[in-house]
Amino acid sequence: MCCLDNAKRSFYRAFNAVFGKVANAASESVVIELLKTKCLPTLYYGLEACPISEKQYKSLNYVLHSSFRKFYLTQNPKILLMNVGLC
């Protein structure tokens, strides 16, 4: 089993850097594209080499959901579902 703490920490660091720089200046689609191209690779790096459990999968899913909650300023999963197709 692999420890995903470093990957999650790196994702949050990358997300906060991108979000802090462009959140107010860029459109929603630009921020989402930056998230997909700059932040997700830090989270997914090396996952194919290590089997993950259901608990770890849910933990990775939570990381993504929490970043979108911050971006959309909501705790409502229906809003996330409408905007980015999560949940």
* DSSP notation for 4-67: -HHHHHHHHHHHHHHHHHHTTTS-HHHHHHHIIIIIHHHHHTTGGGS---HHHHHHHHHHHHHH
What's the pTM value of the predicted model, to 2 decimals?
A: 0.80
- In contact, 4 and 56? CB cutoff 8 Å: yes
Core vs surface per residue 16-27: b (16+ CB within 10 A) or e: eebbeeeeeeee
Q: Higher confidence at residue 80 or residue 21?
A: 21
Q: What is the pLDDT of residues 30-56, one digit of tens each?
A: 888 898 899 999 998 888 888 889 999
Q: What is the pLDDT of residues 58-83, one digit of tens each?
A: 999 899 888 888 887 777 766 666 66
Farthest CA pair distance, the chain: 41
Domain count for the chain: 1
3-class DSSP state for residue 75? coil
Domain extent, residue 61, equals 5-84
Q: Higher confidence at residue 11 or residue 73?
A: 11
- Neighbouring CB atoms inside 10 A of 48's CB total 7
